[in-house]
Amino acid sequence: MMVNHGLNEIAKVIAGAENIVIAAHIFPDADALGSQLALGNILESMGKNVVLYSEAVVRKLYDFMPGSERLVTPPIEWDSFDCGIALDCGDRLRLGKEMDNFLKIQPVVVIDHHSGHQEFGDVRWVEAGRGSTGEMIFDLAQALNGSISYDTAYCLYAAIVSDTGSFKYSSTTADTFRVAKELVEKGVKPFEVAAKLFDNFTLNRLHLLMSVLDTMELYKNGRISVIHVTREMFSRVGANQGDVENFINYPRSLESVNVAVFLKETNDGLVSVSLRSKGSWCDVAKVAAKFGGGGHKHAAGFKKDAAISEILEQLLSEISLTMEK
């Protein structure tokens, strides 16, 4: 049974700390990064000393987020903090290479919305029903009486739009719109954020999309769609690994599809697999867990050291098993 301390408890712990390091999951998406930047601003507005930790510099895709140049990469003086906050991490491994150092901080506060959350840290606020961590950070700001600047609102809005699929996924609730409304009232322009998040393709990236869509295969009477990208395809069009962000939404958009799969050859010689589901036909977090990965019911993933064709074969049978239960 997971111990979930809740919003008020973690707010108390954070309010009592002075030197705080905030981490989000590795290869941060807009929710992880936006939540991290926003919480940094909120805590600084309360007079806290804040370090925003990241294993790597921000990807080009997200460097439009105000404050993204502030992220601090290793080496970090881990013993200088009296509180560590982990955002949007479904499990401790998502903290990356510095995980052990981060977890030595006393206390570690965890804020997350992943359905398959694997408990770690000292105090936790986990709400699997929330559409994004960004939405939760807004509520935390209110509990802390921290101020929300325009930049903070911008980052939170980007986090929310991105993690709810532009308010389309099943995790989108009245709470999501309540928070989004407040952020827009702070001056955020939805069309500006949407343009940065979605209308941001380079020509190389569009060429990559064309060749990736060409690989699409359908299984189970069109209920499963699969695309893939090889290292050779990246180099042919001069695109990089980050350029495939959100490509999985295309096979997912097919009317008949319940599960979309994206297999990508990574630079470290592995294959990274992303899974998306629509409706209640298949919980992809359960499928990913079979391969040592994790995520949400509707969005999950894992990495494996094998050929794309071999992984796909195992994956299709796991998806079939999960759907029949």
- Interacting residues with Mn ion (CB under 5 A): 31, 88, 133, 163
Q: Which CB, 133 or 274, lies closer to Mn ion?
A: 133
User: 């309540």: which residue's tokens?
Assistant: 178
Q: Which CB, 31 or 318, lies closer to Mn ion?
A: 31
What is the distance between the alpha carbons of residues 285 and 2, in angstroms, rounded to a whole number? Answer: 18
| Count of C-beta atoms within a 10 Å radius of residue 213 | 12
Report the nearest approach of Mn ion to the CB of residue 324 (Å): 29
Nearest Cα to Cα of residue 166 among 189, 185, 190: 190
User: Contact 133/88 with Cβ under 8 angstroms?
Assistant: yes
Report the nearest approach of Mn ion to the CB of residue 239 (Å): 25
Q: How far is CA 130 from each of CA 50, 155, 178, rounded to the nearest angstrom? A: 26, 17, 12
Report the nearest approach of Mn ion to the CB of residue 301 (Å): 13
Cα maximum dimension of the chain: 58
Cα 274 from chain centroid? Answer: 12
What is the distance between the alpha carbons of residues 137 and 122, in angstroms, rounded to a whole number? Answer: 18
Nearest Cα to Cα of residue 29 among 67, 65, 72: 65
Q: Give the DSSP H or E segment for 185.
A: helix 174-185
Q: How far is CA 323 from each of CA 240, 262, 274, 299, rounded to the nearest angstrom? A: 34, 18, 17, 15
Q: Give the DSSP H or E segment for 133.
A: helix 133-144
Q: Which CB, 134 or 311, lies closer to Mn ion?
A: 134
Report the nearest approach of Mn ion to the CB of residue 226 (Å): 24
Taking CB atoms, the residue at the shortest distance from Mn ion is: 31
Q: Which CB, 282 or 299, lies closer to Mn ion?
A: 299
Exposure string for 5-21, b = 16+ CB within 10 A, e = fewer: bebeebbebbeebeebb
Report the nearest approach of Mn ion to the CB of residue 96 (Å): 16
Report the nearest approach of Mn ion to the CB of residue 217 (Å): 29
Q: Which CB, 133 or 176, lies closer to Mn ion?
A: 133
Q: Which CB, 198 or 256, lies closer to Mn ion?
A: 198
Using DSSP, state whether 312 is helix, strand or coil: helix
User: Contact 84/109 with Cβ under 8 angstroms?
Assistant: yes
Q: Which CB, 29 or 265, lies closer to Mn ion?
A: 29
Cα 319 from chain centroid? Answer: 22
Q: Which CB, 88 or 98, lies closer to Mn ion?
A: 88
Report the nearest approach of Mn ion to the CB of residue 89 (Å): 9
Report the nearest approach of Mn ion to the CB of residue 325 (Å): 26
